[in-house]
Structure 1
Amino acid sequence: MNNRSTVKQTLAALCALLLSALVIANVADAANVKLISVAEREVVTTTADGVDVTEIVPAESVIPGEEVIYTTYYNNTSDRIADKIVITNQVPEHTRYKANSAIGADTAITYSVDGGKSFAAPEELMVTGKNGEQRVARPSEYTHIRWAYEPVLPPGEKGSVQFRVVLR
């Protein structure tokens, strides 16, 4: 097996890990809120006129240093109001969270540095440094992101939450 083949296999394996990012939804009536998670990346192409055009395409192949955009779409498919919607995404292995990239309308966004056991605002996330002292966690140390949807979600309504990572 040559080096090029090994690199392709490694990238394929990393892509599989990226595309299988864990998404967990905690909803009072979870059966009626459907989730779809997608992994995408930005591709910039230049037109014949010299204009750069940015497209969002499926993240079928990425290389170290590239960003992947994770979007979780939610949809209340029932005829009842859904409340207490919480969506949790794991930061995939072999990636690092891109600072300030988590977004979601009408959500409170918190983060975890302990494998999803506890969540807090960035300034409240503490880790033990190499010298044994507590310090504020860096975004690259986040393991999970949580969005708590604050209003109720009426029947038929939908939305999305999103974050970005960089492949290590």
Structure 2
Amino acid sequence: MRFSLSLIAACAALVQAGVFTQQNYNDISISGGVAGNAQNEAMAVFSALDLNDLANVDKDDLDFLNSVNQICNDAEDEAFNPAIDAASGEEADALQRGKIKNKVLKLTASVLKLQAQAAQGQDTSAKLAEEQKKLDNNISQDEDEAGNASTFLSFDATTD
């Protein structure tokens, strides 16, 4: 009987494990290509997450979403902003479009994390409304530039 209960507990722990694994920024970045579809590109990065069962998102996955937010923010500050400042014309515009796509990824991670935390009983309504407003603004900016080139910038960072 003890063996059966231990086995069941071990299997249950495996089922509840997070769906995300450690990722390099360059592997999850959506900044390159063309503008206009950043929302779908960002959701594809998080496609392993069951959006119909956010109440059961594993703590490791919440940590992963938070980590994506952090490394995207670092990429914005340490890679995109300096590159945009040093560029001009279409080069700067393409970098700016890449930065916007990076922001969509960052904010999508934040919104998903906050939605999961809310589904798990935490009061995230104020922060969720704030982050959703930022996300909507960046999605709109991306869509306004649909079809125009956006620049990928390599950045050395890894999710937790």
TM-score (norm 1): 0.31
Q: Which structure has greater helix proportion?
A: 2
| Higher RCO (Cα < 8 Å, 6 or more apart) | 2
- Structure number with the higher strand fraction is 1
